[in-house]
Amino acid sequence: MAHKSPDPPRTTKSLIIFGVSLLLLHLGFSSNTWRISEEARFLSHQQDSESLVLGRLVKSRQDGVSAAGGLTGAGIPNDIHRDWITSEQVSDQYAAYLDGSRFDDYSPYLSQTGGQGMLLSLLDRILPLPPPETLELFHSLTSLLSAAAFRLIVVWFYLEFGLLTSGVVLSSVVFSLWLTLFGRNLFWSTWAYFVPMIGMMYYSRHADASGRMGRHHVLGLLGFLLISIKCFINGYEFVTTTLIMMMVPLAYHDLKRKASLLELAKRSASFLAGGLAAIAVNLFVLSLQIAHALQGSLSDGWRHILYSLGKRTYGIGDDYSETVAASLEASVLDVLRTYLTGVYVDTTHFVEAFRLYRLSFVLEREIEYWQLIVLFALGSGYVVLSTRAASAEGRQSRLALVVATWMSIAAPLSWYVIFKGHSYIHTHMNYILWQMPFTLFGFAVVGLAMKCIWENVLTLVSTR
């Protein structure tokens, strides 16, 4: 089947959605314009992690980008993995960069490649700006990249399901507390987590439209490249989530075109194999970086990787601190209960900032994730019941979206369960995993259900 070019009106709408979503998201991520978060919390969120990038900038400025293996870190004498950086040391990191100071000591953070720090170090050398303005530019650039990633997701939903569905998805990102908090953080570089899924969204859509789904080795290579980008930028945090995320659009498009389960399994295995190969290669690179940073051997790198893996999953408690040991002994059900009752958004600050007091009884809400799951289930049920009235093609795409949505819940759950130790401790940040990409697809189902309701109303009116 020949590939059909989109008609001009639809292309124009795509560009408009592209621009509007970019603006709305960038304003939220860069400056909390929509007041989704309390301002103090927005400005201070994950500064300890971000300060490691500032430490890398200082280290690169004084000793070169490749110094200490190019790893992020802190200008402190103690091992950052044994004694985490204090709030005072965090302030010192920022001050050292902004004041042009030097480090006498440097403790590298050994659990990620630190590509974001290396790239920003190169930009820091090139830009003819004083450090305060450069730091502000880095925050803006990171926010813009995060906004660009989500706008691509919004446009994909528009191309697949239309304006209403994509608008609901866009609103869900704008009002997400955790995406707002993470959107500009230099360390986390949120956009990189979504690169593999976005790449798969557009590759699968193009292949679906052209009728050429690609050979298995092409999918494997694509998976390798996409996961390599993620691992280089922000390491292996949430890596199981990222792997499953990129499988969701692949499954959606295969289900949409009624591919056999065997074909879907083979294509998924090829794509996943490429992603796992990328992780293996990047782990080897990280072990080399650790060996260089510690002036040791390759085995030192592997020992630290295994130590970190046990600390985050199901290691032996006696090998770690009392706090980590408690996390390893915690119940998986307790961890899941914690994250199900987490807050997706508290609109109090939004209502106050825009003086919407008269509508506060409607708008002022604290929505938890378990409530969203119920909402998504109701939306899924309505979409399934409404498919009979749709065309054959529309029916299949709607059913495929519902199935893909409930597949996507495995992405956050994989980290909560496999990396239970990490999730038990990091309740100040791991709620963002629900957005990778379960809430995005869940709200798409809600938007599609709203579209179905509207279509049913129009049908009912026209028959009278």
Q: Are the CB atoms for 46 and 187 separated by under 8 Å?
A: yes
Per-residue tokens: 174: 């704008």
Sequence-distant (≥ 6) Cβ neighbours of residue 141 within 8 angstroms: none
Q: Which amino acid appears at position 73 of this protein?
A: G
Q: Say what angle helices 410-418 and 239-256 make with each other, to 10 degrees.
A: 150
Q: Which helix (H) or strand (E) holds 340?
A: helix 332-340
Residue 264, pLDDT score: 82
- Four-residue CA torsion sign, 273, 279, 280, 281: positive
Residue 349, pLDDT score: 80
Q: State yes or no: cis peptide before 437, omega within 30 of 0.
A: yes
- Model pTM score: 0.92
Residue 388, pLDDT score: 73
- Four-residue CA torsion sign, 297, 302, 305, 311: negative
Residue 3, pLDDT score: 43
Rounded distance between C-alpha atoms, residue 76 and residue 97, angstroms: 14
**First CA to last CA distance, the chain:** 40
Reading the chain (464 residues) residue by residue, the pLDDT tens digits are: 444 444 445 567 777 778 888 999 999 999 999 999 999 999 999 999 999 999 999 999 999 999 999 999 999 998 898 889 999 999 999 999 999 999 999 999 998 999 999 999 999 999 999 999 999 999 999 999 999 999 999 999 999 999 999 999 999 999 999 999 999 999 999 999 999 999 999 998 888 777 666 677 888 999 999 999 999 999 989 999 999 999 999 999 989 988 888 888 888 888 889 999 999 999 999 999 988 888 777 777 777 777 777 766 666 655 666 677 777 778 899 999 999 999 999 988 888 777 776 666 667 778 999 999 999 999 999 999 987 766 666 789 999 999 999 999 999 999 999 999 889 999 999 999 999 999 999 999 999 999 988 888 877 787 76
Residue 318, pLDDT score: 55
Name the residue among 433, 430, 429, 443 with its Cα closest to residue 371: 443
Give alpha helix (H) positions in 211-296: 216-234, 239-256, 261-294
Sequence-distant (≥ 6) Cβ neighbours of residue 451 within 8 angstroms: 161, 162, 164, 165
Rounded distance between C-alpha atoms, residue 217 and residue 245, angstroms: 20
Per-residue tokens: 149: 């990633």
What are the two backbone dihedrals, phi and then psi, of residue 100, each rounded to the nearest 5 degrees? 75, 25
Sequence-distant (≥ 6) Cβ neighbours of residue 20 within 8 angstroms: none
